[in-house]
């Protein structure tokens, strides 16, 4: 099942997908050499028959490891952790079972809740700044929930969720940056957490990836 072919990650050409972010950070943290293949989602390239056939979901990210294609960002994280396991490769998920479960909870929650926040503070606004309308009542409630959960999860004076980094740190920081990059101040502990995580080299590599100019 293993292959020595260079890994490939299908991404999208604006480099603002939170799901591509997760897979990109995971590969970078594992220190695995990989190539990226950006698809123009607005042109429907993700629905081209060959890509759809292999990815199953016709979405990005999709990882290609030899003849194995895998979409869904959290499945990619889990696959990379098993395929390139610690201690030979850096960890993506905590070593402790309960912390690992908590990290998975955070990843799943960030993908399935806070819909109003995700809609009203879209990731395009993080990388293509523009004035957005004030949050609706639903958006405000989602922000309050995010801040309350983040405050509960991040230990006092800490800048990571657990004793060592995990992919849940990057994902939570990405969600918090929907607010920060749209000018919303955060409580000091959350601000320090988000700012520290935003400086991580794997995160910088995604944030600073060249993007097409705004049209
Ligand atoms: N649950 C998926 C979500 C992937 C997803 O929604 N990707 C978007 C980009 S952010 C996409 O490919 N959209 C194109 C489409 O739906 O046609 C994951 O975690 O990877």
pLDDT digits (tens, 9 = 90+) for 124-171: 999 999 999 999 999 999 999 999 999 999 999 999 999 999 999 999
Between the CA of 63 and the centroid of ligand 1 the distance, in Å, is 13
Q: Is 12 in the pocket of ligand 1 (CB under 6 A)?
A: yes
Q: Is 16 in the pocket of ligand 1 (CB under 6 A)?
A: no
User: Whose alpha carbon is nearest atom 17 of ligand 1?
Assistant: 59
Q: In angstroms, how far apart are the furthest CA atoms of the chain?
A: 51
Between the CA of 61 and the centroid of ligand 1 the distance, in Å, is 7
User: Whose alpha carbon is nearest atom 18 of ligand 1?
Assistant: 72
CB atoms within 10 A of CB 78: 17
Helices 73-83 and 18-29 cross at an angle (nearest 10°) of: 10
Please, which residues bridge with residue 69 across strands?
A: 64
Q: Which CATH superfamily is domain 7-91 in?
A: Glutaredoxin (3.40.30.10)
Pairing label, strands 7-12, 62-65: antiparallel
Q: Is 72 in the pocket of ligand 1 (CB under 6 A)?
A: yes
User: For the chain, where do the domains classified as CATH 1.20.1050.10 start and end?
Assistant: 97-200
User: Whose alpha carbon is nearest atom 6 of ligand 1?
Assistant: 59
Q: Is 73 in the pocket of ligand 1 (CB under 6 A)?
A: yes
Mean pLDDT in runs of 10 for the chain (215 residues)? Answer: 82 98 98 97 98 98 98 98 98 98 98 98 96 97 98 97 97 98 97 98 98 89
User: For the chain, where do the domains classified as CATH 3.40.30.10 start and end?
Assistant: 7-91
Is domain 97-200 given the CATH code 1.10.3260.10 in the classification?
no
Please, which residues bridge with residue 24 across strands?
A: none
CA end-to-end distance (rounded Å), the chain: 44
Q: Is 110 in the pocket of ligand 1 (CB under 6 A)?
A: no
Q: Is 32 in the pocket of ligand 1 (CB under 6 A)?
A: no
Phi, psi for 68 (deg, rounded to 5): -105, 125
Q: What pLDDT, on the 0 to 100 scale, is given for residue 2? A: 59
- State how far the Cα of 169 lies from the Cα of 159, in Å rounded to an integer: 9
The residue written with tokens 């006092």 in the block is 156
Between the CA of 189 and the centroid of ligand 1 the distance, in Å, is 31
Q: What pLDDT, on the 0 to 100 scale, is given for residue 214? A: 86
Nearest Cα residue to 82 out of 70, 91, 72: 91
Q: What pLDDT, on the 0 to 100 scale, is given for residue 215? A: 74
């Amino acid at each position: 099942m293993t292959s020595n072919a260079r890994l490939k990650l299908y991404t999208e050409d604006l480099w603002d997908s939170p799901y591509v972010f997760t897979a990109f950070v995971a590969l970078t943290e594992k220190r695995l050499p990989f190539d990226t293949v950006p698809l123009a989602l607005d042109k429907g390239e993700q629905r081209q028959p060959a890509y759809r056939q292999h990815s199953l979901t016709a979405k990005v990210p999709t990882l290609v490891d030899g003849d194995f294609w895998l979409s869904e960002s959290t499945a990619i994280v889990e696959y990379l952790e098993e395929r390139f396991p610690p201690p030979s490769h850096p960890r993506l998920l905590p070593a402790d079972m309960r912390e690992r479960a908590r990290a998975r909870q955070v990843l799943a929650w960030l993908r399935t809740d806070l819909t109003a926040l995700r809609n009203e503070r879209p990731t395009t606004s993080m990388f293509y700044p523009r004035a957005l309308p004030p949050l609706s009542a639903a958006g405000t409630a989602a922000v309050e929930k995010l801040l309350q959960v983040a405050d509960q999860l991040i230990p006092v004076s800490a800048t990571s969720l657990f004793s060592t980094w995990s992919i849940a740190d990057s994902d939570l920081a990405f969600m918090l940056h929907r607010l920060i990059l749209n000018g919303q101040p955060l409580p000091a502990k959350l601000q320090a957490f988000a700012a520290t995580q935003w400086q991580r080299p794997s995160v910088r590599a995604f944030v600073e990836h060249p993007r097409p100019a705004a049209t």
